[in-house]
Structure formats: structure tokens, C-alpha cells
A = this chain, B = another copy of it.
Amino acid sequence: MSQMHNVESQLREMILGLEIGPGERLTERWIESRFGASRTPVRAALLRLETEGLICRDGRGWTVSPINLAELEQIAVYREAVEVAALRLTCAQGDKSSVEVVEAMLDSCGSGTPREEWHRVGMDFHIDLARLSGNEFLFRAVRDAMTRLSRARWLEVRDEAALSRAWAEHHAILAAVRTGNADEAARQLSAHIVGSRDRLVTSLRNDRRGLRARGFAVVAA
């Protein structure tokens, strides 16, 4: 694998894993020494991460994108549009066998599952569901949106009840898809996205002070 992809993927993991906090400044030289690559692949990686929205320009330099509550709200609207569209395409397909794969992924999470796994499965559910539509653009849109949401979702305070609630909603969506009831599935998915957004934004707004104390920049809605 090339140095560019090395730097890109490792830096992405560090940002998504909050090893580098939202709002933190990045210098090309630091990345260079941190990953043992020269500036050419470093700069290429930065350019790619910029298009993903994980970093942004800060005058002349680079900054890890802050958590932006207004952005989270807009992403939810965007998600609703593309995910519902993808879901309707999937419902219109005859073959429902692929739904079972997604269902199996959900069921792989139980009471003893670590939080990282809940987090990953919670995102992959939406991404894989979009992939089933067969539309590359809807799929990419959902994947990119979930990537942008990833850090905020990780910072959200979620108890066991919230996790199982999301899990149940995911199952309800799949059940509607399996019966081919597109309207019902779309309704469930919309409600799920809107509800998730409300809980996410509320949680972050309440924790904003604490998050800032941990060095995480959170921009208000």
C-alpha cells in the first residue's frame, strides 16, 4: 500500500477515534514525523480527508473539523432523503435474501458486546442497507454522512436502553423491508433518523461544557 493511503487511513482512524480531538490544529510537519512519511503523501492524504469533511482549512493551516451541531441537523435531513430513497429501491427488489445478512449483523450484538462494536454495527447497518439499493451514489452519500456523524455518535451519552431502542428500530425497519412494505419501512426509517438526531443533538448540547473541557471543540447550532 502506498504511503499516501497509509497516512490517509491512519490519520482517519486517529480522527474518528478521537485520538486527535475536534478543533485540534494539525501541521504537515507533525504528521510527517508521526507517520514517518514525507510531505508529499502527507499533503495528498490531507487533501483527501478534507473532501471527507474530517479536516478543514484554518487560514493557512489545517484543523480537525469541530463537532458542529448545526451540521449534524443538516446531515440528518440529508440522510433522510438518501436513505429513504435507497430503502424504497431495496423494497422494490424481488430478492430479499440480502436483508438477512444485515439482520445477522444486527443480531451479532448482545448484552456483552463492547461499545466499539455497537458503534460500528450501528453505522454499518445504515451503510449496508444503502448498499443493497444497488445505487452507488445513494450508497456513497450514506457512507459519507455516517463518517461525518461518527465522532458525534461516539461522544453521545448512550445507556443500555438507548442502544436497545436503536436496535429494535433497526429490526423493525428490516421487518417492513422483508414484507415489501415500502411506505411502512420509509416511515420507520424517517422516524428513526429524526429521533436519533434529536437525541444526539440534545445529548451533545447538554455535554457541551464537559466536551470543551476535554479539549473538543463543539460548535453550537
The residues of A with any CB-CB pair to B shorter than 8 Å are 40, 43-44, 47-48, 51, 71, 74-75, 77-78, 80-82, 84-85, 89, 135-138, 141, 145
Contacts and interface: CB of A to CB of B under 8 A. Distances in A.
A74 B135 CA distance: 6
Interface centre among A74, A81, A82 (most CB of B within 10 A): A81
A135 B47 contact: no
A113 to B, nearest CB: 31
A142 to B, nearest CB: 11
B44 A136 contact: no
A201 to B, nearest CB: 15
A64 to B, nearest CB: 19
A144 B85 CA distance: 18
A81 to B, nearest CB: 3
A111 B135 CA distance: 38
Contact of A141 (B47, B51, B71, B78): B78
Contact of A81 (B47, B71, B138): B138
A43 B135 CA distance: 30
7 contacts: A48-B51, A74-B135, A74-B136, A77-B89, A78-B141, A81-B84, A82-B82
A145 B84 CA distance: 18
A141 B77 CA distance: 13
Nearest to A45: B47
Contact of A51 (B51, B80, B89, B137): B51
Contacts of A85: 77-78, 80-81
Contact of A43 (B44, B77, B136, B138): B44
B141 A141 contact: yes
A146 to B, nearest CB: 13
A70 B82 CA distance: 19
